[in-house]
Amino acid sequence: MFLKFLRLEIKSFFRGTSVGVNLAMKILRFIGILYFTACLAGGAFAAFYYVQEKMHMDPLKVVSKFLIMGWAVDLILKYIWQEMPTQNIKPFLTLNIPKNTLVNYMLIKTFISALSWLNSIFFITFSIIALFNGYSVLGVLTWFVGISLLFYLNNFINILFNNKETVAIAVGCVFALVAGLSYYNILPVLTYSETFFYSFYEKPYFVVISVVLFAVLWRITFSHVRREFYLDQGLEAKKQFGKTENIAFLNKYGVTGTFINNDIKMLRRNKVTKGILIGSFFFLFYGLLMYTSVIYKTPAMMMFMGLFVTGGFQFLFGQRVPSFDSSYYPLMMTLNVPYKEYLKAKWWLINIVTAASIVVALFYAYFGWEVYLAFFAAGLYNIGVNSQLTLWSGAFNKTQIDLNSKEKRIGQKNSFNLKAMLLLIPKMLLPMAVFAATQYFFGITAGVVSIAVLGLAGFMFREKIFDIIVKQYKREKYSTLDAFKNKG
């Protein structure tokens, strides 16, 4: 039966109306998977031989020490991006197919996702290297199996708590608290991690713990999904009673204020937009990667991080205009809606959040004022240039967004457009190149000033740029309407 399901999905892929775009997205995903596979495999070699030859320590113990951090990051990534493949299953619910078979197929499909098995590339490579360097075959095998099963448990945890935002926030706070206690050496979390994970190698019978946990959680998850596996229950979008809200002072700004008011209410009410706000908050800490890798300390990468630290909300929200309005976009186009005011409202909202991000990012001054100044310049570039380019790229994004369900799919077919990809050059590569070159020849101050000048220039000429963007939205109007109307 599982093979029949797979054959049907393959036929669906090649018989769809967007085979070319689907194929292009698959190729891009495949290239991305190859890239991360190479990085993880290379990381395994580096982790083993660097620790062994430079630090003169046991690589297996050192890796085991930091596995608790890898496990937590894996769980967070799966919560943000991985979803249950329910859409392809719904048509089978009306057929004479046992629900147990469908539920098991859905659970197995979560393990096929690249997000589930990519971390195994590191563990497989590291285990093979360990075997070639004289480690016990039985110990390495039980270490690999035990750790892999614990990481796969995150699939079940994600399914069980997927729609429970309160639990997710509570778990996030616990992670933050434990990380803080470990950082200040109050709680030796890393020591506990080394002891526990290394036990899979030192005491092979410990693998029974992982096997039992995996079997128990599979059964619990199966029962949970099976209990809600109905079109009018677990697979139906949850409906809530709406509340009338109004931010009165925005109304005095006319049509622009009305649109901003509506966007703020949308951000507060819906699951997808709440996820955008959470993701934007986490982007503020992206710059901390600078202190985990030498690569990120180069001027170009410093600017790259600054663009993301100050522009997280801009990239997550702005490039999905008008997709957030896809449910009522056809109706909106039948009304006398001024395109320019509609886009300006998005622009003001994006830039208000970007300005707030610049202020919050002030804590990076702790690592040096040159770091914060680079981030400050990146923020000005985001406000003056990228805010408009992001809205421009939104004209080519024709992906429908269901505001009532968590959006975790990356690279949906209608979101791929060559023109939108080309806009990444002035959005990312141009400021990185200008900052790196200016900083190299004239110093950090000149680098900051050069990026700030570009941002201010974009802000001054915003009206002219908006006219170009409005024309682009009008050119894409009917293809966008067609994409939003055709739900299949």
Provide the mean pLDDT of the chain: 79
Dist. CA 210–CA 164, nearest whole Å: 25
Q: Which pairs with CB-CB distance under 8 Å and at least 24 residues apart come from 298-302?
A: 298/436, 299/374, 299/435, 299/436, 299/439, 299/440, 299/447, 300/432, 300/433, 300/435, 300/436, 301/432, 302/371, 302/374, 302/435
Whether residue 20 has pLDDT greater than 60: no
For the residues 339-367, what does the mean pLDDT come to? Answer: 86
Whole-number pLDDT of residue 212: 95
Dist. CA 201–CA 205, nearest whole Å: 9
* 388: nearest Cα among 460, 330, 328: 460
Whole-number pLDDT of residue 249: 59
**Residue 408's pLDDT band (cuts 50, 70, 90):** very low
Higher pLDDT pick, 273 / 220: 220
**Residue 231's pLDDT band (cuts 50, 70, 90):** low
By mean pLDDT, which of 42-56, 142-156, 209-223, 384-398 is the weakest? 384-398
Phi-psi region of 174 (alpha: psi -120 to 50; beta: other; left: phi over 0): alpha
By mean pLDDT, which of 245-259, 271-285, 371-385 is the weakest? 245-259
Whole-number pLDDT of residue 405: 57
Share of the chain above pLDDT 90, in %: 16
In three-state form (DSSP H/G/I as H, E/B as E, the rest C), the secondary structure along the chain is CHHHHHHHHHHHHHHCCCHHHHHHHHHHHHHHHHHHHHHHHHHHHHHHHHHHHCCCCCHHHHHHHHHHHHHHHHHHHHHHHCCCCCCCCHHHHHCCCCHHHHHHHHHHHHHHCHHHHHHHHHHHHHHHHHHHCCCCHHHHHHHHHHHHHHHHHHHHHHHHCCCCHHHHHHHHHHHHHHHHHHHCCCCCHHHHHHHHHHHHHHCHHHHHHHHHHHHHHHHHHHHHHHHCCCCCCCCCCCCCCCCCCCCHHHHHHHHHHHHHHHHHHHHHHCHHHHHHHHHHHHHCCHHHHHHCCCHHHCHHHHHHHHHHHHHHHHHHHHCCCCHHHCCCHHHHHHCCCCHHHHHHHHHHHHHHHHHHHHHHHHHHHHHCHHHHHHHHHHHHHHHHHHHHHHHHHHCCCCCCCCCCCCCCCCCCHHHCCHHHHHCHHHHHHHHHHHHHHHHHHHCHHHHHHHHHHHHHHHHHCHHHHHHHHHHHHHHCHHHHHHHHHCCC
**Residue 201's pLDDT band (cuts 50, 70, 90):** very high
Phi-psi region of 62 (alpha: psi -120 to 50; beta: other; left: phi over 0): alpha
pTM: 0.58
| Cα 387 to Cα 57, 241, 250, 381, 404, distances in angstroms | 49, 34, 21, 8, 26
For the residues 132-145, what does the mean pLDDT come to? Answer: 93
Dist. CA 319–CA 199, nearest whole Å: 47
Whole-number pLDDT of residue 248: 58
For the residues 305-316, what does the mean pLDDT come to? Answer: 85
Burial of 208 (0-12, 13-18, 19+ CB in 10 A): exposed
Answer yes or no: are the C-beta atoms of 155 and 111 closer than 8 Å. yes
**24-72 residue pLDDT tens:** 666 777 787 888 888 889 989 988 998 888 888 999 999 999 999 999 8
Whole-number pLDDT of residue 138: 94
Whole-number pLDDT of residue 420: 55
Dist. CA 428–CA 12, nearest whole Å: 36
**266-279 residue pLDDT tens:** 777 776 777 778 77
**Nearest-10 Cα torsion for 97, 98, 103, 108:** -70
Whether residue 204 has pLDDT greater than 80: yes
Whether residue 81 has pLDDT greater than 60: yes
The separation between CA 65 and the C-alpha centre of its own chain, rounded to angstroms, equals: 26
| Cα 345 to Cα 10, 253, 377, distances in angstroms | 42, 10, 24
Dist. CA 140–CA 148, nearest whole Å: 12
